[in-house]
Chain A
């Protein structure tokens, strides 16, 4: 009887230790999973910004004229677009055969606003969302540089004027 009680106690202790280990492992896993989710979200956001860093030189380097325009001018230029501009300013890039506008906008199918690229080439227009951006768009321009800044996500892209380019602001 005493021996059986001893076995029972030993089994109960074993189960308690096992359960304790499982609880510790699960809590470790939960903490790690939530941290990892946050990190992956940050990485996805950074991947969007990296893609934008790769993309912007493709439209900025060939530009002949780089200009900061008002929302009214932008609306007039893209009036047929399904994207509603929400930034007070936009960046206008004039190429030999096309014009590109960069601005913060919101389309009917979007929940979050985004940095939009509107391109007009030989009368054909295209609209592409470059990355999600919910904050403000700031455009700072001097004779030699311009910087495009986003507040959320925090990001600044700067370009130094190249031969043959003019800055209008």
Chain B
């Protein structure tokens, strides 16, 4: 191989290395961004599911509640992704319509084993 061909080969390798370096850097940036976006979307979906689960739990507890009794304390636990949402409310049937008040929420860490 002549020295000129060798120089050309080294030049091509340098260009390819720079382009490869830029491409890998770009790919890592996009991958990180995509992972973060997926995580946020998952959290939003979990939050929406937890909201729906709260209404389902309330409907279930209303079925079990006594309409003639006054304000009855109720409590339900909803998993919302990384923790459990413990909700306590007061429920009463006022003029034929179920009413809730005194909403209190605490988050309880969900213990997981690996």
Contacts and interface: CB of A to CB of B under 8 A. Distances in A.
A28 B22 contact: yes
For chain A, what secondary structure do more than half of its interface residues adopt (helix, strand, loop), or is it mixed?
helix
Main secondary structure of the interface of B (DSSP, over half): helix
A21 B15 CA distance: 8
B14 A21 contact: yes
A73 interface: no
A43 interface: yes
Interface stretch (A46-54, A111-119, A123-131, A132-140): A46-54
Contact of B40 (A25, A50, A63): A50
Interface string B1-31: 0000001000100110011001001100100
A165 B103 contact: yes
B94 interface: no
A121 interface: no
A63 B51 CA distance: 13
B20 to A, nearest CB: 12
Interface of B: 7, 11, 14-15, 18-19, 22, 25-26, 29, 32-33, 36-37, 39-40, 43-44, 47-48, 51, 54-55, 58, 85, 87, 89, 100-106
20 contacts: A17-B11, A21-B15, A25-B14, A25-B15, A40-B29, A46-B33, A47-B36, A50-B40, A53-B40, A53-B43, A57-B47, A61-B85, A61-B105, A62-B104, A62-B105, A96-B102, A96-B103, A96-B104, A164-B103, A165-B103
